[in-house]
Structure 1
Amino acid sequence: MKPIRLVSGFLTVGFWTLMSRILGFVREMMILAFIGPGPVMDAFVAAFRLPNMFRRFFAEGAFNAAFVPMFAKRYEAGDDAPGFAREALSGLSFIVLILTALAMIFMPALVWATAEGFSGDDRFDLTVGYGRVVFPYILFMSLSALFSGVLNATGRFAAAAAAPVLLNIFVICAMTAAAFLGQEVIRWLVWTIPVAGIAQLTLVWTAASRAGITIRPGRPRWSPEMKHLVAVALPAALSSGVMQINLLVGQQVASRTESAVSWLFAADRLYQLPLGVVGIAVGIVLLPDLARRLRDGDHDGSRHAYSRAGEISLALTVPSAVALVVIPLPLVSVLFERGAQTADDTAAIALATAIYGLGLPAFVLQKVLQPLYFAREDTRTPFRFALWAMVINAAVAIGLHPVIGWIAPAIATTLAGWAMVWMLARGARPMGEIARFDTRFRRRLWRIVAASAVMGGVLWSVNLTLGPLIVAPGWRYLALLVLVLSGMVSYFLAGRLLGAFALHEFRDALRRGG
């Protein structure tokens, strides 16, 4: 069987995720410039979040947590893994088709349930119309997730990681064409999304076939394997999608303030860059690796993989979080402030970005901790933790909204994220040494934090110096580049001096197939 290379797999997924996030930035910059925060963008954000929410439940949540370990074990044992995948594909197609049909019919009720504040104004009808166009995206993305799970479980990460890039490429091209032709940009935007979903499904389906795993849908069967898959997947869908649920609660609260949904969406896109590159990449690679090692009884290898995933994650995430907290205004101003976006919009987005930045390490640590449970096909325990996290999120968001207004959902999301990490870490204690970070991780953690603090000080100082240039039209991009590079260099030098990381270890891991 082809071994899973932890470090090289992480780098592959991280690279393609980085490309997707960079293009995603371009996409959001264009949306903010062509449409701008306001009723139309609020409606688009609320509509597009609907298929994305269900995608996390039916696709990334359920199948990364339930399908991947089960498929990986069958693949490792030579126990008709393609047959299992065919049954899963047939069942998933049937369920998502029914869901899509119901959503199209009851879209007004769905919009009211997720953005009740839109009721009584133009945003409600716009969201219903946009939602009916973009919701079929979930069908293509759910099936793509299954094929991506097959590829990931067999150690082939490139095609699955590259697929999301297509959405951004299609959307950017569509908006550019609409602007050039003088057409309505929003209309081209919403109709392009399902088309991009078809392209993504085609890519991973073809990649799986070329890898020798032919999967074709058939008549759904309620077999013992599917019963077990559903039993594992149902709680996994909620526990993996807890962030999406929290975001929806936040959207419900924010919908009572015009443009607040757009502000939180833009801030979410900014902190999703390091979260996607680091947390999601590590989670995707770590889960099948842990599942295989646990099946083979390789406890030392499991603990090593878990510790190195945590070490890599925090080495990249902690400095990213510090940057989001220290310099959110320059980042948002240079990246997003143009066209229809105003300085007031920038200030609001920057505030939300800083608050999300405080929760970024928690969001990433969730991606490291959850595979400990999912690799054992234990999705019920994270499910219970997710319920508590959602209660915390809803209580804080709804409770603080009358006091501090639209920013309450960002605070609630961050607090709920840290609560989820605490529960996951505490719940993993009975698993023994496998679920405990090793000595090397503990020795380096404080060094990572110290190097990040040094970087934060440098960023603050450089930002004070370059402040006037950040708002100067001819210098803003260069000033931001200097600011970011100064942070990267200071973190690298401080990290090397303090022993926070050693580059030769990454090189050695890659040579060994790490």
Structure 2
Amino acid sequence: MKPIRLMSGFLTVGFWTLASRVLGFVREIMILSLIGPGPLMDAFVAAFRLPNMFRRFFAEGAFNAAFVPMFSGKLEGDEDAARFGRDALNGLALVTLMLTALAMIFMPALVWATAGGFSPERIDLTVGFGRIVFPYIFFMSLSALFSGVLNATGRFAAAAAAPVLLNVMVIGAMTLAWITGGGVINWLIWTIPFAGVAQLALTWGAAARAGFALKPGLPRWTPDMSLMVRTAVPAALATGVMQINLVVGQLVASQYDSAVSWLFAADRLYQLPLGVVGIAVGIVLLPDLSRKLKANDMGGARDAYSRASEFAMALTVPSAIALMVIPLPLVSVLFERGATDTDDVAAIAVAVAIYGLGLPAFVLQKVLQPQYFARGDTKRPFYFAVVAMVINAGLAIGLAPVVGWIAPAIATTLAGWVMLGLLYWGLRGMGDAVHVDARYRHRLPRIILSALIMGAVLWVSTILLEPALGTPGLRYIALLALIILAAFSYFGAAHKLGGVKLSDVKGAVRR
């Protein structure tokens, strides 16, 4: 994949991820406004986290780390990729069906293990919600497989667009509930499994049009499946460790009223740049690196890694600065309405600033992990994740008596930087393909300086626009003005200093 094509892949996935995250913001704004931080929202967040947790464990984490490089290699080597994809589909369907059945039976134990600080009434509410939304894992896992097929063939749009369906359907359901006076929470939770069906239909159809109309059948145990499982198990353990971090944070937060809701809202805000940049880069980079390494194109692999790192930092560093400089205006304009008051906004803003400090680490992890997965190395990321898990759990539990509900956010950020350091340390001995080129080394300090200039402009502008930001009719215009000022100051400085060349972006956008 040539650099311009690689960049267009980043932008394609980034565009659809941006669309999904923007609609996700609308979804969270509606949830916070119509339901608000409190027992109902805490129960929904804890229940919906269960299928999402296992989805990352089975589909987006372990499974794709093993499946995508093998499928890409078979495409490159003219092997029977379709048969391998069909066997993987049948195996994944069996595992996720069994998981869903067990979760439905043992839902009370799952809720107690992940939100044990809830009151008995809130636990019962979460169990009920969990049994409705958990089947989402089955449909989303299969959708993730077809997304992996599409990504490996260089068709990124349909796979990246699939998450948009969830947000569109949920927003539509809550709007209808609000108009008709129905129970918003009930419409919300019942829509989720149906959205999973829609996402599976979209990706399955796109894969069929790409020549991979995989049909379900009885699972087969083959040498390829054996190799995929042996590769996936360490990645599953690594992803499982990351999910333990989320569970520990939720367990700590569940002991404080509304804290689960506050951290969820803050998480959604910093997930916007993480999803648009980090996840997009990881999705595009993994199959590209896998093909180049199989072809022994080390120069091409190094160039792909350097451009991915450059693209990630060019958008992540200014995003992190913005989250740390103006968290309160962002949260206030986005979430302060209806059932969400100024106290909720202040709490969410603190968490947003802390997560913003860790954003570069979270994104760079997505850039570095493909270096391991493309080589079939899923063991060392697991070992690194264990170290990060111990640090995260120790900090979250140890800091809670001192700083209260915000301890999980601090622990997540610090553990993220530790994980990044370990991933860099583990690159030693992998050859020149894991070393960034001179262009990236030249541009990175200029990107950072440009982002700091933007931060100063934002800080001054926020002071000047403070009256407008506090006025209901003007605050949306004031926030838009801040965003425009940030974009012009950052990209203008980056272009002048040589951190970002606008011609590179224009070329990729045209493609």
- Aligning the two structures, in what range does the TM-score lie when normalised by the shorter sequence? over 0.9
1:25 equivalent in alignment to 2:28: no
Q: For the residues of structure 1 that align with 2:2 and 2:72, how far apart are their CA atoms?
A: 11
1:397 equivalent in alignment to 2:396: yes
Deviation at 1:509, TM superposition (A): 5.5
- Aligned partner of 2:117 in structure 1 is 117
Deviation at 1:396, TM superposition (A): 0.5
Q: 1:14 to 1:367 in 2, by over 3 A?
A: same
> Which digits, 9 at most, give the CA deviation of each residue in 1:317-345, with x for residues without a partner?
00000000000000000000100001000
- Aligned partner of 1:376 in structure 2 is 375
Runs (4+) of structure 1 exceeding 6 A deviation are 1-4
Q: Which residue identity is paired with 1:471?
A: G
- Aligned partner of 2:127 in structure 1 is 128
8 Å contact from structure 1 (residues 16, 158) kept in 2: yes
Deviation at 1:508, TM superposition (A): 4.6
Q: For the residues of structure 2 that align with 1:234 and 1:416, how far apart are their CA atoms?
A: 23
Deviation at 1:48, TM superposition (A): 0.2
Q: For the residues of structure 2 that align with 1:64 and 1:409, how far apart are their CA atoms?
A: 28
Q: Which residue identity is paired with 2:432?
A: E
- Aligned partner of 2:190 in structure 1 is 191
Deviation at 1:237, TM superposition (A): 2.4
Q: 1:440 to 1:64 in 2, by over 3 A?
A: same
> Which digits, 9 at most, give the CA deviation of each residue in 1:135-174, with x for residues without a partner?
0000000000000000000000010000000000000000
Q: For the residues of structure 1 that align with 2:88 and 2:188, how far apart are their CA atoms?
A: 32
Structure 1 residues 27-42: aligned runs within 5 Å: 27-42=27-42
Q: Which residue identity is paired with 2:468?
A: L
Q: For the residues of structure 2 that align with 1:241 and 1:214, how far apart are their CA atoms?
A: 31
- Aligned partner of 1:492 in structure 2 is 491
> Which digits, 9 at most, give the CA deviation of each residue in 1:106-127, with x for residues without a partner?
0000000000101x33210110
Structure 1 residues 13-412: aligned runs within 5 Å: 13-118=13-118, 120-240=119-239, 242-412=241-411
Q: How many residues align?
A: 511
Deviation at 1:248, TM superposition (A): 1.9
Deviation at 1:67, TM superposition (A): 0.2
**Deviation larger for 468-477 or 2-11:** 2-11
Q: For the residues of structure 1 that align with 2:83 and 2:5, how far apart are their CA atoms?
A: 25
8 Å contact from structure 1 (residues 42, 262) kept in 2: yes
- Aligned partner of 1:429 in structure 2 is 428
Q: For the residues of structure 2 that align with 1:311 and 1:232, how far apart are their CA atoms?
A: 29
Q: For the residues of structure 2 that align with 1:127 and 1:121, how far apart are their CA atoms?
A: 10
Q: Secondary structure at the match of 2:430?
A: helix
Q: For the residues of structure 2 that align with 1:248 and 1:306, how far apart are their CA atoms?
A: 32
Q: For the residues of structure 1 that align with 2:2 and 2:419, how far apart are their CA atoms?
A: 34
8 Å contact from structure 1 (residues 9, 285) kept in 2: yes
8 Å contact from structure 2 (residues 146, 207) kept in 1: yes
Deviation at 1:245, TM superposition (A): 3.1
**Deviation larger for 93-102 or 235-244:** 235-244
Deviation at 1:2, TM superposition (A): 12
Between the aligned residues of both structures, percent identity stands at: 69
8 Å contact from structure 2 (residues 86, 216) kept in 1: yes
> Which digits, 9 at most, give the CA deviation of each residue in 1:278-297, with x for residues without a partner?
00000000000000000000
Q: For the residues of structure 1 that align with 2:465 and 2:64, how far apart are their CA atoms?
A: 44
Q: 1:198 to 1:287 in 2, by over 3 A?
A: same
Q: For the residues of structure 2 that align with 1:13 and 1:493, how far apart are their CA atoms?
A: 25
Q: For the residues of structure 2 that align with 1:316 and 1:108, how far apart are their CA atoms?
A: 42
Residue ranges of structure 2 left out of the alignment (5+ in a row): none
> Which digits, 9 at most, give the CA deviation of each residue in 1:438-492, with x for residues without a partner?
1111111111110000000000000011112112111010010111111111101
Q: Secondary structure at the match of 2:166?
A: helix
Deviation at 1:5, TM superposition (A): 2.7
Q: Which residue identity is paired with 1:26?
A: V
**Deviation larger for 439-448 or 351-360:** 439-448
Q: Secondary structure at the match of 1:338?
A: coil
Q: For the residues of structure 2 that align with 1:314 and 1:3, how far apart are their CA atoms?
A: 16
Q: 1:470 to 1:251 in 2, by over 3 A?
A: same
- Aligned partner of 1:10 in structure 2 is 10
8 Å contact from structure 2 (residues 11, 508) kept in 1: no
- Aligned partner of 2:445 in structure 1 is 446
- Aligned partner of 2:462 in structure 1 is 463
Q: 1:3 to 1:146 in 2, by over 3 A?
A: farther
Q: Which residue identity is paired with 1:374?
A: F
Q: For the residues of structure 1 that align with 2:267 and 2:244, how far apart are their CA atoms?
A: 14
Q: For the residues of structure 2 that align with 1:436 and 1:240, how far apart are their CA atoms?
A: 25
Residue ranges of structure 1 left out of the alignment (5+ in a row): none
Q: 1:339 to 1:329 in 2, by over 3 A?
A: same
Q: For the residues of structure 1 that align with 2:442 and 2:2, how far apart are their CA atoms?
A: 33
Q: For the residues of structure 2 that align with 1:509 and 1:269, how far apart are their CA atoms?
A: 28
Q: For the residues of structure 2 that align with 1:59 and 1:365, how far apart are their CA atoms?
A: 21
Q: For the residues of structure 1 that align with 2:239 and 2:299, how far apart are their CA atoms?
A: 26
Deviation at 1:3, TM superposition (A): 11
8 Å contact from structure 1 (residues 56, 237) kept in 2: no
8 Å contact from structure 1 (residues 64, 284) kept in 2: no
Q: For the residues of structure 2 that align with 1:400 and 1:85, how far apart are their CA atoms?
A: 46
The TM-score, its normalising length taken from structure 2, stands at 0.98
**Deviation larger for 293-302 or 425-434:** 425-434
Q: 1:161 to 1:56 in 2, by over 3 A?
A: same
Q: For the residues of structure 1 that align with 2:166 and 2:296, how far apart are their CA atoms?
A: 40
- Aligned partner of 2:501 in structure 1 is 502
Q: Secondary structure at the match of 2:213?
A: coil
Deviation at 1:429, TM superposition (A): 1.4
Q: Secondary structure at the match of 1:441?
A: helix
Q: 1:243 to 1:21 in 2, by over 3 A?
A: farther
8 Å contact from structure 1 (residues 2, 155) kept in 2: no
